[in-house]
Amino acid sequence: MEMLVIAKFTSSYDEWKAIYDGDLELRKTFMKDDLVGKVDNNTAMIKATITDPEQMEKVMGERIAEIAPALGLEHEMYTLTIMEND
């Protein structure tokens, strides 16, 4: 499943990105091929292929609860669909 996540935070992009990068092994348990884009100093976009949605829910439920208060972190999550061209 392809997903787009908008991450909004009150901390800086660099603070958020350092934590995101540090969670690489954790992310590998449920996603692959993630791409990150900086929108502004308080917003990032993440596009990823989710390989295990149940594991994603479990990990995000635990890990986001740990880091969200310090970062002022919120997520908007969207499922992406490949469009067929006629």
Residue-range definition of the domain harbouring residue 59: 2-80
Please report whether residue 11 resides in a domain. yes
CATH number, domain at 75?
A: 3.30.70.100
Q: Residue 86 has what pLDDT? A: 65
Q: Residue 17 has what pLDDT? A: 97
- The whole model's pTM is what? 0.88
- The domain tally of the chain equals 1
Please report whether residue 26 resides in a domain. yes
Please report whether residue 43 resides in a domain. yes
Please report whether residue 63 resides in a domain. yes
Query: What are the tens digits of pLDDT across the range 67-77?
Result: 999 999 999 99
Burial 52-84 (b: 16+ CB within 10 A, else e): eeeebeebeeeeeeebeeebebeeeeeeeeeee
Average pLDDT over residues 63-68: 93
Q: Residue 82 has what pLDDT? A: 84
Query: What are the tens digits of pLDDT across the range 17-53?
Result: 999 999 999 999 999 999 999 999 999 999 999 999 9
Please report whether residue 85 resides in a domain. no
